[in-house]
């Protein structure tokens, strides 16, 4: 059966960190703050995928109190989530996501993000859609205090056993 999942994440922008989005390091004056590489786009996608099999959220599987995953690249998290789905016989159909960032302009990096995410998920690039928008200057996103991402995933999940 086809199951859908949604994901949302936000991280604060701060000086002295590398900005990593969709597995791609992007030149910028600030990066996202977090226990991992704080790749907000990868995190939203991970939550969307986990949602398709009702497997909880990324914080449950990769707690920010776990020192063994400090600084982990979030593409590794996505590989682990994809493996979790595969172990349940679930097959990812597609992922669609939107990054909400006032700056930098992300258009030049979207193709590389799609390729990187597709590789982590074992998905053809044509099944990985990444879009970018600004918050039109409004609110904390508009003031560039952080970057947010939302994602949706469709996954072909085995029928549950009758009960």
Least distance between Mg ion and beta carbon 48 (Å)? 13
Looking up tokens 């949302």, which residue turns up? Answer: 8
Report whether 36 contacts 20 (CB < 8 A).
no
Tell me whether residue 10 or residue 84 sits nearer to Mg ion (CB atom): 10
Q: Provide the 10 A C-beta neighbour count for residue 84.
A: 16
Least distance between Mg ion and beta carbon 104 (Å)? 19
SS3 97: strand
Strand partners, 130: 97
Least distance between Mg ion and beta carbon 97 (Å)? 13
Tell me whether residue 38 or residue 123 sits nearer to Mg ion (CB atom): 38
Q: Which residue is nearest to Mg ion (CB)?
A: 43
Least distance between Mg ion and beta carbon 91 (Å)? 25
Q: Which residues of the chain form contacts with Mg ion (CB under 5 A)?
A: 9, 43
Tell me whether residue 66 or residue 137 sits nearer to Mg ion (CB atom): 66
Helix (H) or strand (E) holding 19: strand 19-21
Tell me whether residue 43 or residue 114 sits nearer to Mg ion (CB atom): 43
Cα 152 from chain centroid? 10
Strand partners, 73: none
Strand partners, 100: 133, 148
């Amino acid at each position: 059966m086809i199951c859908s999942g949604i994901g949302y994440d936000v991280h604060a922008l701060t000086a002295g960190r590398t900005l990593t989005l969709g597995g791609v390091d992007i030149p910028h004056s600030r990066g996202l703050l977090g226990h991992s590489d704080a790749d907000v786009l990868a995190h939203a996608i991970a939550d969307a995928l986990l949602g398709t099999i009702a497997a909880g959220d990324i914080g449950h599987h990769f707690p920010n109190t776990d020192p063994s995953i400090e600084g982990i690249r979030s593409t590794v998290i996505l590989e682990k989530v994809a493996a979790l789905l595969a172990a349940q016989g679930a097959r990812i159909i597609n992922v669609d996501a939107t990054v909400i960032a006032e700056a930098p302009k992300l258009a030049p990096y979207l193709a590389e993000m799609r390729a990187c995410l597709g590789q982590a998920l074992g998905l053809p690039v044509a099944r990985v859609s990444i879009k970018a928008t600004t918050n039109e200057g409004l609110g904390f996103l508009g003031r560039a205090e952080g970057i947010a991402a939302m994602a949706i995933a469709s996954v072909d999940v085995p029928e549950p056993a009758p009960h």
